[in-house]
Amino acid sequence: MYAVISTGGKQYKVKQGQRLDVERLGVDTDSEIELAPVLVVDGDTVLATPAQLGGATVKARVVGAARGPKIDGFTYKPKSNQRKRWGHRQKYSTIEITAIAKGA
């Protein structure tokens, strides 16, 4: 059984016991969260419509935090002395999928 969840503007295909990094959730480590699935597949059964997914849930536990690679940027405009350095490092929450339920 697997499910497709949506969090942080992205969709992820997940199975029970899988760990993945998602955009920072803003909850403490060892917190239980519940995610709404977009799709649930169990063998030949596919739940995809909002009516079918009414009781379906995906439960996960936040196991830690991670940071992505450093991105350095530099912009300038010639002949006008305009220069700007900037950087970014994305923060992620590491979650572990604990249960996938189809509902009723």
- pLDDT tens, residue by residue, 66-83: 999 999 999 999 999 999
58: β partners? 35, 100
Tell me the CB-side half-sphere exposure of residue 95, using CA atoms within 13 A.
27
pLDDT in tens, 50-66: 999 998 999 999 999 99
Domain boundaries, the chain: 2-101
The reported pTM is 0.83
Residue 29 CA to residue 95 CA, distance in Å, equals 9
